[in-house]
Amino acid sequence: MTITKTINGNEATLEFEGWLDTQASPELIKELDEIGEDVHSLIFDFTKLEYISSSGVRALVGAYKKVNGALVVKGASDGIMSIVKATGIDKRIRFE
């Protein structure tokens, strides 16, 4: 998986490409740990994300908690959304 991070003021955008699974989740956690305290809002671009596993969903929840709910996910495919909806996390995190 590839994560491209862009920080603009107090907003960080992470673009994902590939699979967010058990092997890739530590990379996401590392990227989130490197984001400074001044970032208060996250945008995840899932346009090129092919798959998300349960560990990927857990990392997504961790990101949501890091910014106190100021997380928006954009571009999730129908397949990704079916996994997300099965977990119920779509009721907390805003998907566009």
pLDDT digits (tens, 9 = 90+) for 45-69: 999 999 999 999 998 998 898 888 8
Question: If you search the block for the tokens 């590939």, which residue do you land on?
Answer: 18
> Per-residue confidence at 33, pLDDT binned at 50, 70, 90?
confident
Q: Confirm if 63 and 33 have CB atoms less than 8 A apart.
A: no
Q: Confirm if 2 and 9 have CB atoms less than 8 A apart.
A: no
Does domain 2-95 correspond to CATH entry 3.60.15.10? no
pLDDT digits (tens, 9 = 90+) for 1-19: 999 999 999 999 999 999 9
Alpha helices (H) along the chain: 25-34, 54-66, 78-87
Q: How many CA atoms lie within 13 A of 91 on its CB side?
A: 4
**H or E segment at 69?**
none
